[in-house]
């Protein structure tokens, strides 16, 4: 009987455990997570902050999911080290778990930039349920919130707080919102809509300092301006949780380097999800964590499966704004593209060698699933390339 140990109970670890059980009915499967909750939706933490759902609704897999599959789940347990020679995982409480194959699905943590004042009371990041609870309870007494970072997470969290009646300012280092997902015209449209919704946007601005006695009172920008703030949420990206990989001396770059079977550089050790780097890419998105977890589970069980990458795709989940982007959005306008723009609608399709490689759909996200399929399948679109940006193009016909 094989012993599988999975460190991390997120989308990657959970999908791997599920796949392992499908392929190996006899194995002993143990999942270890330092968090106090079974598998839950990080994506919906924003709905929880906004008060749209209770905490319990975040949980995706309740206890029965684990017992039905005979998967041992250890909550609130931090793995401190791994001994690859005796093939044992050691916890902070010195408990040992033997493995034949080990999956590191340790995810990522919020990156906190080195801004003076980040240690003050009232400064938050958002990654897990504890963070969301802290933000929600502190928000009760806050009026002015400054979001540092105008990416997807910053805007969605800011919107949740705006809906709670807070005055929300967004500080973004780039000169446009969502710099990774939008080009200049799309970001301009979004900025207009968000300003109308009540956001105050400070683009192309760098935070110099968070000020206040011991609690936040304001955010000073390098331009000299001071924004009033009794709460600050920093959304400056994530960094993979690499401590175990480093102590194992696994080959790492930005994340743990894996091959197409999700194998790390040491025998019988695999990595998947936000901690894994595949062909130089750290995906950092839920669908990639799911796919990678499944592939890792297959290979750990001895069934060959190859990961081929995930098309990076994102949708902004802010009510009243329709916005989706995928693949290469050609922010520099260096590739061949077709665009459509009318009122609040902007649609852009980016091509390379007659293949769709990316798109931005704003104000009208019709056809997004079809676009994802075309990008993934690398299909030749020369036949209808010139028509795709037309207002009434029928995406169902592709």
Binding residues for ligand FAD, rule: CB under 6 A, are 7-13, 32-35, 42-43, 45-46, 78-79, 105-108, 126-127, 153, 241, 244, 273-274, 284-287, 289
Provide, rounded to whole angstroms, the least separation between the CB of residue 70 and ligand FAD.
21
Q: Whose Cβ is closer to ligand FAD: residue 61's or residue 241's?
A: 241
Residue with tokens 């499944």: 294
Smallest gap from Cβ 190 to ligand FAD, in A, equals: 16
Judged by beta carbon, residue 3 or residue 127, the one nearer ligand FAD is: 127
| Helix, strand, coil abundance in the chain, percent, nearest 5 | 25, 30, 45
Strand arrangement of the beta sheet that strand 101-104 belongs to: 71-74, 28-32, 3-7, 101-104, 269-271
**Nearer to ligand FAD (CB atom), residue 372 or residue 388:** 372
The DSSP 8-state label assigned to residue 391 in this structure reads T
Return d(Cα 336, Cα 213) in angstroms, integer.
Answer: 53
Nearest distance, CB of residue 387 and ligand FAD, angstroms: 30
Comparing CB distances to ligand FAD, the nearer of 24 and 47 is 47
> Is the distance from CB of 296 to CB of 16 less than 8 angstroms?
yes
Residue number with CB closer to ligand FAD (185 or 287): 287
- 157 versus 337: smaller Cβ distance to ligand FAD: 157
Separation of alpha carbons 190 and 322, rounded Å: 10
Packing angle, helices 184-197 and 152-163, rounded to 10: 10
The closest of 42, 114, 39, 107 to 75, measured between CA atoms, is 39
Q: Specify the residue, 230 or 274, whose C-beta has the smaller distance to ligand FAD.
A: 274
Q: At its nearest, how many Å lie between ligand FAD and the CB of residue 262? A: 12
Q: In angstroms, what CA-CA distances link 327 with 36, 352, 353?
A: 35, 12, 15
CA distance 148 to 181: 18
CB of residue 66 to ligand FAD, shortest distance in Å = 15
CB of 263 to ligand FAD, least distance (A): 17
Residue 245 tokens read as 């990989």
CB of 40 to ligand FAD, least distance (A): 9
């Amino acid at each position: 009987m094989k012993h599988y140990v999975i460190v991390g109970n997120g989308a990657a670890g959970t999908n791997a455990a599920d796949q392992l059980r499908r392929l190996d009915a006899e194995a002993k499967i143990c999942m270890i997570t330092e968090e106090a909750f079974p598998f839950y939706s990080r994506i919906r933490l924003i709905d929880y902050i906004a008060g749209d759902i209770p905490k319990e609704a975040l949980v995706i897999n309740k206890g029965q999911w684990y017992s039905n599959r005979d998967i041992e789940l250890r909550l609130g347990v931090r793995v401190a080290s791994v001994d690859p020679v005796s093939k044992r995982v050691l916890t902070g409480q010195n408990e040992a778990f033997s493995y034949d194959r080990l999956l590191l699905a340790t995810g990522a943590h919020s990156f906190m930039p080195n801004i003076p004042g980040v240690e003050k009371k009232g400064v938050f990041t958002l990654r897990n349920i504890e963070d969301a609870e802290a933000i929600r309870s502190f928000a009760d007494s806050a009026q002015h919130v400054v979001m540092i970072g105008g990416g997807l997470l910053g805007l969605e969290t800011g919107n949740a707080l705006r809906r709670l009646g807070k005055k929300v300012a967004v500080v973004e280092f780039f000169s446009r919102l969502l710099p990774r997902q939008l080009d200049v015209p799309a970001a301009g449209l979004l900025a207009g809509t968000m300003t109308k919704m009540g956001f105050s946007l400070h683009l192309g601005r760098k935070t110099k300092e968070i000020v206040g006695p011991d609690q936040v009172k304001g955010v000073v920008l390098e331009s000299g301006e001071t924004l009033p703030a009794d709460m600050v949420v920093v959304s400056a990206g994530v960094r993979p949780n690499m401590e175990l990989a480093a102590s194992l001396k696994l080959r790492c770059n930005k994340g743990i380097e894996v091959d197409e079977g999700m194998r790390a550089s040491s025998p019988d050790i695999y990595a998947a999800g936000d901690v894994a780097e595949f062909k130089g890419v750290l995906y950092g998105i839920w669908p990639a964590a799911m796919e990678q977890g499944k592939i890792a589970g297959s290979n750990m069980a001895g069934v060959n499966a190859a990961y081929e990458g995930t098309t990076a795709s994102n949708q902004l989940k802010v009510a009243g704004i329709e916005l989706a982007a995928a693949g290469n959005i050609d922010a520099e306008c260096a590739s061949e593209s077709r665009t459509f723009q009318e009122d609040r609608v902007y649609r852009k399709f980016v091509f390379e060698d007659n293949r769709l490689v990316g798109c931005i759909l704003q104000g009208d996200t019709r056809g997004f699933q079809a676009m994802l399929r075309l990008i993934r399948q690398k299909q030749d679109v020369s036949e209808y390339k010139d028509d795709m940006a037309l207002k009434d193009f029928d995406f169902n016909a592709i």
